[in-house]
Structure 1
Amino acid sequence: MTRALFIIDVQNDFTEEGALGVDGGAAVAAGVTEFLGRHRDDYRVVVASRDWHSSENDNGGHFAVGDMDPDFVDSWPPHCVEGTEGAEYHPALDTGLVDVHIRKGQGVPAYSIFEGTDDAAATVSELLTSRGITDIDVVGLATDYCVRASALDALEHGQHVRVFTDLVAGVAPGSSEAALAELGHAGAVITESGALEEQEA
């Protein structure tokens, strides 16, 4: 097998009731778990990322603090602060199915999984090379931000990328549709996870 699954930022703060919750976030968490229950053996490695922002500073301007209002483009309300409940994975995501955990945004803005490291400080690029990965499926949150950035970086790293539209959720419909169109134009396959069952039938 040469395929990996990237689970992007399925965290409490990005799901309903969280600091930056998106509609459908909890359903994505449950859907990814259900999907892996059927397809875990299709992947050499399952990698999950989390925003893990510093509690001691504004993370390079990523957090709007004090009198600053977030513009929701480059600056945001505080979210996914290290060690808080908001930074934890959503409980519907079965983390027992995850092989590698990536933390990103530790003191700096970070959107792509490629900007993070694992517990041994290895980069995602190093992980892909060491595991012989050539194909990546991408799911998670949010379609128009971290899913987009992670999938674009995977393409930039020469990977064959698929994005499962039924296992992502975005901040806004328009920007999510634009992100998926951009990814398709860049070379990603935009499909639904159910297409795998159709291929296997």
Structure 2
Amino acid sequence: MEGGNAVAEAIGTFVQQYGDQYALIVTTQDWHIEPGPHWSEQPDYVDTWPVHGKAGTPNAQLHPAIAALGLDHHIKKGQYCAAYSGFEGIEDNTDDVPTREQVQAHASQTLEQLLRDHDITSVDIMGIALSHCVRDTALDAQRLGFETRVYTDLSVPVSVELGEQAVQRMAQSGITLLEGDEYVD
């Protein structure tokens, strides 16, 4: 995705600079095994995509700038469905490719449960893609009662138009949108 490397590197720098101000830092990542029609040979880049985030491949790994942070909690999503929201994934700190049964057996290890177990009440979200995964994760966080902020300049959309639509939808939902020197109070 255009701009993805730069955003990942900026996020890595952000976490190095401000990470100690957070009680918990969690990554989310596509870890697709058989996501159904989410993968398409003729993708529309709105609901269908070329093969990406294929579990167990280098393409599904965290960007090196994020992996180098040595974080302890990783949510993997979309094993058997599209799963744009991080709240649709499960905590998995391995590179294993789980079966459908293994994913279902670990359904209690969700992002929501991880946040609640650590008494987290507010979340800051950034990443790829602002127009899809960041948006849906933020909307779910807000719906679940977490105070939610999104760093728009530490996120990149699939397209400018879809990014603008996502920002508008998040703002209308009461999500705080930040950029630049507004990062950490």
Give, as a single letter, the amino acid of the residue that structure 2 aligns with 1:124: L
The corresponding residue for 2:155 is 168
Give, as a single letter, the amino acid of the residue that structure 2 aligns with 1:154: A
What RMSD in Å do the two structures reach over aligned CA positions? 1.6
2:37 is the counterpart of 1:61: yes
2:23 is the counterpart of 1:47: no
Tell me if the contact between 1:36 and 1:97 (Cα under 8 Å) persists in the aligned partners: no
Alpha-carbon separation, structure 2, partners of 1:193 and 1:72:
28
Could you list the per-position Cα deviations for residues 123-155 of structure 1 after superposition, in whole angstroms to 9, with x for gaps in the alignment? 111111111111100000001010000000000
Give, as a single letter, the amino acid of the residue that structure 1 aligns with 2:52: H
The corresponding residue for 1:131 is 118
Tell me if the contact between 1:114 and 1:153 (Cα under 8 Å) persists in the aligned partners: yes
State the identity %. Answer: 39
Alpha-carbon separation, structure 1, partners of 2:65 and 2:183:
22
Give, as a single letter, the amino acid of the residue that structure 2 aligns with 1:83: G
Question: Cα distance, 1:92 vs. partner?
Answer: 2.2
TM-score by length of structure 1 reads 0.80
The corresponding residue for 2:85 is 112
Tell me if the contact between 2:16 and 2:69 (Cα under 8 Å) persists in the aligned partners: no
Question: Cα distance, 1:90 vs. partner?
Answer: 1.3
Give, as a single letter, the amino acid of the residue that structure 2 aligns with 1:62: H
Tell me if the contact between 1:112 and 1:150 (Cα under 8 Å) persists in the aligned partners: yes
Alpha-carbon separation, structure 2, partners of 1:125 and 1:100:
13
Question: Cα distance, 1:99 vs. partner?
Answer: 2.6
2:4 corresponds to which of 19, 25, 35 = 25
Structure 1: any 5+ residue segments left out of the alignment? 1-20
The corresponding residue for 1:190 is 177
Question: Cα distance, 1:73 vs. partner?
Answer: 2.6
The corresponding residue for 2:138 is 151
Tell me if the contact between 1:33 and 1:92 (Cα under 8 Å) persists in the aligned partners: yes
Tell me if the contact between 2:27 and 2:74 (Cα under 8 Å) persists in the aligned partners: yes
TM-score by length of structure 2 reads 0.86
Tell me if the contact between 2:31 and 2:76 (Cα under 8 Å) persists in the aligned partners: yes
Question: Cα distance, 1:185 vs. partner?
Answer: 1.1
Could you list the per-position Cα deviations for residues 44-101 of structure 1 after superposition, in whole angstroms to 9, with x for gaps in the alignment? 11010110111xx4x2211115xxx222232211111111111111112244342310
- Aligned to 2:44, what secondary structure does the other structure show? coil
Alpha-carbon separation, structure 2, partners of 1:24 and 1:190:
19
Which 4+ runs in 1 deviate beyond 3 A? Answer: none
Structure 1's 117 and 193: CA in aligned 2 closer, same or farther, altered over 3 A? farther
Alpha-carbon separation, structure 2, partners of 1:25 and 1:196:
20
The corresponding residue for 1:14 is none
Structure with more relative contact order (C-alpha pairs < 8 Å, separation 6 or more): 1
Structure 2: any 5+ residue segments left out of the alignment? 94-105
